[in-house]
Amino acid sequence: MLKRDGIPGDEDVESITPSAERRAAGPVVWVECFEEIPCDPCHDACPAGAIAEFADINDLPSVEHAECTGCGLCVPACPGLAIFVIDETYSEDEALIRLPHEFSPVPETGEHVTLLNRAGEEVGTGEVHRVQNPGTFDRTAVVWVVIPQELVRDVRAIGKGAGRT
């Protein structure tokens, strides 16, 4: 439960999940920001305007998923590492998740990694599809990982193991 252990529950996750129709249209942002804190760089990072301007800096992000292009520029902008872009149309059995990664070493394309849920528990393995780590991302790499479709709502980080040392 979010208030007790910081881990969002099913109801919290459902509240930010894009519609099935939007998820079927291609990559889309999932903003998992559940606490009102002074933060708003995601709005400024979104060139499509899919993340609404904040009336108050403590507001939770409001996303118009129909406007999201799936560009992912908001992912490295989030200091809370709470934004992901998920493409459930990648293949019939696999999805592609773009997630923020601030640990060393940064994985390499083709590397098999351990998939972690919000609690840091291992839930499977995936393969790194691409890594973006330009200086403009302010030391937050965006790692694209191919994951099993059934783990779309669970995977939110990668860890050591499955080929990581």
The enclosing domain of 43 has a CATH number of 3.30.70.20
Return the pLDDT at 66. 97
Residue 64 domain flag: yes
- For the chain, residues with pLDDT lower than 50 are 163-165
Return the pLDDT at 8. 86
Domain with 98, as residue range(s), is 2-159
Residue 50 domain flag: yes
Q: Which residues 6+ apart lie within 8 Å of 28 measured at CB?
A: 18, 22, 65, 68, 70, 85, 86, 87
For 122, list phi and psi in degrees, rounded to 5.
Answer: -70, 130
Vertex 53, ends 49 and 54: CA angle to 5°?
155
Residue 164 domain flag: no
DSSP one-letter code for 162: T
Return the pLDDT at 2. 66
Residue 45 domain flag: yes
Residue 93 domain flag: yes
Return the pLDDT at 3. 64
Residue 59 domain flag: yes
Return the pLDDT at 134. 87
Return the pLDDT at 147. 98
Residue 122 domain flag: yes
Question: What letters, b where the CB count within 10 A reaches 16 and e where it falls short, cover 3-35?
Answer: eeeeebeeeebeebbbeeeebebebbbbbbbbe
Number of compact structural domains in the chain: 1
Residue 165 domain flag: no
How many Cβ atoms are within 10 Å of 141's Cβ, its own excluded?
Answer: 19
Q: Find out whether 57 and 44 touch, Cβ atoms under 8 Å.
A: no
